Structure 1
């Protein structure tokens, strides 16, 4: 009887979660969290001068606020794997590149000497369609063409957005936009 009650409670919990729009974990898949409370730019930046980008590595999201505060966007992101995370803190965009050429970092070449020296823009380029270059060496917010990577961890330290999202962020952000990784 107790086994039946537990099963019934499990089914009711699943139905309640589905009605609330929350996915439950089943096997290898992780449960999706309920929507988070809105993030306030004031909690992370002293002002919106030149706009602001917050890369929240725990939430696997990139948030953008325009300089005048009228535009706010949130994009799902692929974030660095814990072993590859070398930076958190404040930086800024120093260059914007449409159709970036990908070059492996020295650490990537050390791990895999067979990597090509570079890949030109186009299909198969890990930087996708656009890249926002940060002050930190070898660190970018760039596109990815595989949506399955979004919300997950990827290697090599960069922040990845779906190509459509990086194109939108690319159009909104400008050189000098402040960026904070938390």
Structure 2
């Protein structure tokens, strides 16, 4: 599909973090101690449930992520996205659906025995940038020639699916901007290739996007933001028309109920901090698509302007699994 057509369909799509009536994404205090050996050696039979934090929670989050049932941004704290990941994984494996990491759920994940935290050394490319702070507001950001990462820490967070706060806690005193620095990071690479995907299912009731195989089995699930009362999710069966990588964003304030009074039509450059992130999966419903976001911590916790918003890494994984003509069902 031509880039111009993709850009036209992006008008009216979600801008992460601008919904005035969005449910607030509350910050969670990090557990006081989170040594790597504690996480890698966390007892697999330790129950993990709502309100828990710490080593066992982080181990479960990483194992779920590697099983393609994403808990969203890794943070070592059990929240709503982690609950949906557990529920989805349990249902896919025919386990009792409880939302708790019980013995049976740990056992089902137990086939993945590789360490969940590993060491890596920053190289020159990791810290080269360019990195620069992002100004507030669409008009100010539209003046930039690229919307890249603001820091190497932010870039590493996206690379390893982790909150910057978690990376800092795993690496106290480390310099994330120095080549040669050794870090401890989550090992998020899936152990097996993505199964063949036949359909996409977007479910507003639990704020998820699932990928289904030919038999209707869920093979991957990601947390998502899926519309709002102002821009409801367009329920129905739609077709995937194409995928655009590193899209620019054409902003029209008339299509946004919460636009600033002084905003004007403008174009925002490509980059991970672009309003639709690093990828746009175009749907046959005009102006709607599945896309990334510059604010992964808010996915599944704030509203969107009607489109389906994923973390950048989840959006990339989905974009590599779908094909033009594939059905995307959007349901309540």
| Alignment TM-score, normalising by the size of structure 1 | 0.70
- Alignment partner of 1:127: what SS? coil
- Is residue 2:255 matched to residue 1:107? yes
Shift in alpha-carbon separation, 1:88–1:101, aligned structure 2, 3 A: same
- Alignment partner of 1:166: what SS? helix
Shift in alpha-carbon separation, 1:71–1:86, aligned structure 2, 3 A: closer
- Alignment partner of 1:82: what SS? coil
For residue 232 of structure 2, what is the aligned residue in structure 1?
85
- Is residue 2:50 matched to residue 1:23? yes
Indicate conservation of the 8 Å contact 2:233/2:330, yes or no.
no
Question: Which one of the candidate residues 183, 202, 223 is aligned to 1:55?
Answer: 202
- Is residue 2:252 matched to residue 1:98? no
More moved, 141-150 vs 113-122: 113-122
Structure 2 counterparts to residues 6-155 of structure 1, below 5 A: 20-24=47-51, 32=80, 33=83, 35-36=86-87, 38=91, 51-67=198-214, 72-105=219-252, 106-108=254-256, 111-112=259-260, 114-155=263-304
For residue 3 of structure 1, what is the aligned residue in structure 2?
none
Gaps of 5+ in 1: 1-18, 25-30, 40-48
Indicate conservation of the 8 Å contact 1:79/1:152, yes or no.
no
- Is residue 2:325 matched to residue 1:176? yes
Shift in alpha-carbon separation, 1:20–1:166, aligned structure 2, 3 A: same
Gaps of 5+ in 2: 1-45, 52-78, 93-195
What is the deviation of 1:157?
0.6
What is the deviation of 1:38?
2.4
Indicate conservation of the 8 Å contact 1:78/1:151, yes or no.
yes
Indicate conservation of the 8 Å contact 1:77/1:151, yes or no.
yes
The whole-number CA distance in structure 2 between the counterparts of 1:70 and 1:22 is 25
What is the deviation of 1:76?
1.0
Q: Please identify runs of 4+ aligned residues in structure 1 that moved more than 3 A.
A: 31-35, 66-71, 109-113
Shift in alpha-carbon separation, 1:110–1:51, aligned structure 2, 3 A: same
Indicate conservation of the 8 Å contact 1:144/1:163, yes or no.
yes
* Between structures 1 and 2, the one with greater strand share: 1
The whole-number CA distance in structure 1 between the counterparts of 2:207 and 2:201 is 11
